[in-house]
Every structure is written in structure tokens, then in C-alpha cells.
Amino acid sequence: MDTAIEKTLAEGLAQLKEVKTQVELDRFYAVYLAKKGAIAGLMGQMRSIPNEEKAAFGKAVNEAKSQLTNEYENKKQALEEEALSAKLQAEQIDLSLPGRGAGVGHQNPFRLIIDEVTDIFLDMGYEVVSGRDVETDLYNFELLNVPADHPARDMQDTFYLKGGKLLRTQTSAAQAHVMLERKGLTPIKMISPGKTYRRDDDDMTHSHQFAQIEGLVVDKNISLGNLKATLELFAKKMFGEKREIRLRSSYFPFTEPSVEVDVSCFACQGKGCSMCKGSGWIEILGAGMVNPKVLKMCGYDPDVWSGFAFGVGVERVAMLRYGIDDIRRFYADDFRFLSPFYAK
Ligand code: PHE
């Protein structure tokens, strides 16, 4: 074999042995096998080779080329395998590692209370009616016996919207809707949970947005006794069998008589503690017999029909139930706030 060919082959093979990366391999290819590489260069010398030696020379170059190509292919495959196993190694998954928590969602305690109260009243045969957040003066005030100049309006500072509508200050607005929609049909036995809004300055016990659950019963011979029995049952189911309630005289324009309802303290069993401020009783809701004026305005003859109504403050009940110290927590969107309630 021509010494130039031998030299090229020997050098090529030696260099290929040293190749350790794809970049080096590409460089090798460029130097030896590419169009302008050493092998092509040898072929180019053919012209200057005497005719009788041309065949042998050509054969020798081709042999050198195929040997280098073979070795090049082997090296290429080896490098690819190496790269793949390095990649697999790097991306190895440790199946024995404990998994990360899936972050199961929790319900806001506020929602839990609404569900619980709703269940209690569904069991007593009540229906659930949904009200609306945006109300008219008529439903939020007028039909509830709160005319324009009534002092009770000051108790419920209102968010007014363009066009004279307002954000309801109380779920009691649902009472008027239901009575007018039923057009005198009885019995009415409904609760209506929902959001309410007042222009309060937010502090630990006040929030400009909060929630209430309204209750309304209208039928023949509905008495204060029925109201008391109903709320007693509710208090026992909500706060425990041993609970008692007491009614204190109060005032709401849409009920007559009106009462505020206290439940015996479930933290100290009525002995007096910080939760009930030493009194043994905790206020949980406002209620009363539906004012005859309201019945009349809403299409029910007060000489034939009577009814009772009540309004439960959802956050207040949730705060008592779960020992939450600040009403603003309900609306702060702090995920940590939700977790302790999950198991309950
Ligand atoms: N709407 C009253 C309030 O927000 C509560 C209430 C409802 C009182 C129904 C009596 C009857 O304070």
C-alpha cells in the first residue's frame, strides 16, 4: 500500500481512539471523511498516479476509507449509547421517595356553618330559597316596614349603587320576595342563606361583607311558642343537646314582638367565662313574629295568617363554634386559616 495512504489510515485510527465527545468526532469526520477531507485528498492524487498503478491505488484508498468509516460509525454509536445512559442516570426517579401531599382543598368554615344550618332546617321540612345580593330599596327596606325616614336605616348603613339599587344589608329582603311570589299561598317554611353588606369599618367583630341565614314561616296559628321551640331545637343541634335558649325583648321594624336569642354558653356550661363575658349566655340571632304590616304589604291577611322570622349571623356562629377571634379572617384568603377546619 502507498505510504501516504498507510500514514493517513494509521493517523486516522489513532486519532479516532482519542475521540471522547461528539464535537471531537465531528472534527475527525471533517478532517478525514468529509468532501474536503484527507481521504478525498488522496483520491484527488489519482491523476498523478501512473496508469498501471491506478487500480491498486484506488483500491487501497477505498479500503482505508471503509476502515475509517467503520471505526467512525462504531465510535458514533458508542458515544450515543454513552450519552443515553448518562441521561437516564441523570433523570433517574427514586421510587422510594415519599410523595408530596396533593393539597386537598378545604372548605371555608363559613361554608361549613351554612351547610350545617341548612341541613338542620331541611330536616325540619324547610325549603332553601336563594336571594339576591343587589336589591331595591323596596325589598330591603320598604316592604319590611322601614320607610325612607325611619331611624332603623341608620342601624344599617347601606352601599348604594348607580341607578338607585343597593347591596342588601340583610337577608330579610328574601322574606318580602318569597311572600310576594307565593301570592298568598301557605304554608311558607323557608330559609335563605346569603351575603349581606353594610358600610361598617372593619374590625375584629365587624366586616363590611358578612353572611346571614334568614328564616321565615307563615301559616295559620303560628305563635311565639312555635318560634321558641324551633330555635331551641336549632340551638341544641348546632351547639349540643344540653343547650338552652332565652329570648330577650328587642326591636326590629319587621317583627312584632321582636327578640334577641341567646344560647347558654357551651364553653363553660353557663357558669360564666371569657367567651360569654361572664354572663353564661351568648347571643346568636335576632327573631320575632312577622309584623302584621309586613304580612299585609306582602299579600297575606294578618287576621288569617301569622308567622315568625329569624336571622342568624353566619360568621358569628362560625366564630363561636371554631373559636375564631377575628371576623376579617373569613375574607383574608389565607390558606392556613382553612386547614384546621378540614377534619370537622
Ligand atoms: N335582619 C335582622 C338583622 O340583620 C335580623 C332579623 C331577621 C331579625 C329576621 C328578625 C327577623 O339584624
Question: With bands split at pLDDT 50, 70 and 90, how would you rate the model's confidence at 343?
Answer: very low
Which has the closest alpha carbon to 285: 307, 306, 305, 255?
A: 255
* Grid coordinates belonging to 279: 354572663
Q: Which atom of ligand 1 is nearest to the CA of 215?
A: 9
Pocket test for ligand 1, best of 158, 252, 295 (most atoms within 8 A of CB): 252
Percent of the chain with pLDDT over 70: 98
Stated as kind and residue range, the H or E segment containing 79 is helix 51-90
Percent of the chain with pLDDT over 90: 75
Average pLDDT over residues 16-27: 94
Average pLDDT over residues 148-157: 83
* pLDDT tens profile 127-149: 999 999 999 999 999 999 999 88
Q: Which of 72-81, 84-93, 248-257, 329-338 has the lowest mean pLDDT?
A: 329-338
Residue 262 near residue 248, CB atoms below 8 Å? yes
* 1 has a pLDDT exceeding 70: no
* pLDDT tens profile 88-113: 999 988 889 888 877 777 788 888 99
* 344 has a pLDDT exceeding 50: no
CA-to-CA distance for 130 and 194, rounded, in angstroms? 7
pLDDT at 341: 61
Which has the closest alpha carbon to 280: 295, 262, 303?
A: 262
Residues 6+ apart with CB under 8 A from 186: 218, 219, 220, 300, 305
| pTM summary value | 0.70
How far, in Å, is the centroid of ligand 1 from the Cα of 268? 27
Work out the mean pLDDT of the chain and round it to a whole number: 92
Distances in Å between the alpha carbon of 196 and those of 84, 144, 169? 63, 16, 5
CA-to-CA distance for 5 and 12, rounded, in angstroms? 10
Q: Which atom of ligand 1 is nearest to the CA of 169?
A: 4
Q: Which of 42-46, 123-127, 209-213, 267-271 has the lowest mean pLDDT?
A: 267-271
Question: With bands split at pLDDT 50, 70 and 90, how would you rate the model's confidence at 331?
Answer: confident
Helix and strand tally (H, E) in the chain? 12, 9
Residue 97 near residue 42, CB atoms below 8 Å? no
Residues 6+ apart with CB under 8 A from 212: 170, 171, 193, 194, 196, 311, 312, 313, 314
CA-to-CA distance for 283 and 265, rounded, in angstroms? 9
Question: With bands split at pLDDT 50, 70 and 90, how would you rate the model's confidence at 150?
Answer: confident
How far, in Å, is the centroid of ligand 1 from the Cα of 286? 5
How far, in Å, is the centroid of ligand 1 from the Cα of 255? 8
